Amino acid sequence: MSVSPVKRQKMESALDQLKHYTTVVADTGDFNAIDEYKPLDATTNPSLILAAAQMPVYQKLLDDAVAYGKKLGGSQEEQIKNASDKLFVLFGAEILKRIPGRVSTEVDARLSFDKEGMIQRARRLIDLYKEAGIGKDRILIKLSSTWEGIQAGKVLEAEYGIHCNMTLLFSFAQAVACAEAGVTLISPFVGRILDWYVANGDKKTYEPSEDPGVKSVTKIYNYYKKFGYKTIVMGASFRNTGEVKALTGCDYLTISPKLLAELSKEHVKLTPTLSVKEAQACDLEKIHLDEKAFRWHHNEDQMAVEKLSDGIRKFAADAVKLERMLKERMFSAENGK
């Protein structure tokens, strides 16, 4: 016999209620957080891996990645690149032991404008997972949502059966192009959109339903559902639980451990704010974007242009920091002794 909604509300946290309407994903490289909140999927990025790699508990993974890079040989640069790719896969493989679904692993942001480079790196990551006994069905390859990244995703999906998660997505143009490319999943950023409007406008606080990031994801979700696109919408980059709750009903939401903890302690009633039925009744019109139209429409959105370039730079900077850490481990001992 099913529990009445009133009783269930008393029993369940906001996080447990959210899981009835939305697939909850953990945005972390920390295994303990994944064990605690039991998400279906998990997402990582260079910044999260850099943070996790500095924790004492994960030093064995660093040592294994270093040993792998050295074993393959080649120039210092090649050894570091191989060790870095291996480290991302080692973290992903450990995460997959703790979740039933998929892990997202990011291609180097420095390749964001290199379609062929992204395709090659993505295939390399999938090969490394295969060596670890993990099939491509459990991996989402994260690519920057540049025009080149979106076209790389199109090729990886259609020709290689590699599932892609398009990240650093801020504009409606990016979302439309991703849908037309037939990628598996997009990660429209919520909090970073809010950050831009707070930094660049007079208004400093927003109600969740008026939050520019929430409104952006809502529009994308409605467009995808109205026109029957299969691409999963996964809201990402949240600043507070209000944003998360305002997107209840979105396909997926990837949430940091801090906000997962807050949601697990909240006991307010959640109702879906996004639904396929409402989306199909919305008045959005279908558009098609070739490269010229994409670049124009994306360029018209100042926030999206600035946040995409900023996001690429930040992920690239953290990739460089991670490589420096690996380089020190791989070569400083032999140089200094």
For 34-38, the CB contacts below 8 A with 24+ separation are 34/95, 34/98, 34/99, 35/98, 36/257, 36/260, 37/257, 37/260, 37/261, 37/264, 38/99
Structure tokens at 100: 């039933």
* Residues, the chain: 337
| Cβ pair 138, 163 in contact under 8 A | no
Known active-site residue 337? no
- DSSP secondary structure letter of residue 143: E
* H or E segment to which residue 169 belongs: strand 164-169
The residue annotated as part of the active site, out of 142, 225, 245, 327, is: 142
Where are the alpha helices (H) located in the chain, listed in sequence order?
A: 5-11, 14-21, 31-37, 46-53, 59-72, 76-96, 115-131, 147-160, 172-181, 191-200, 212-226, 241-246, 257-265, 276-280, 291-299, 302-327, 333-336
Burial 23-41 (b: 16+ CB within 10 A, else e): bbbbbbbbbebbeebebeb
Distance (Å, rounded) from C-alpha 113 to C-alpha 129? 25
- Residues tagged active-site: 142
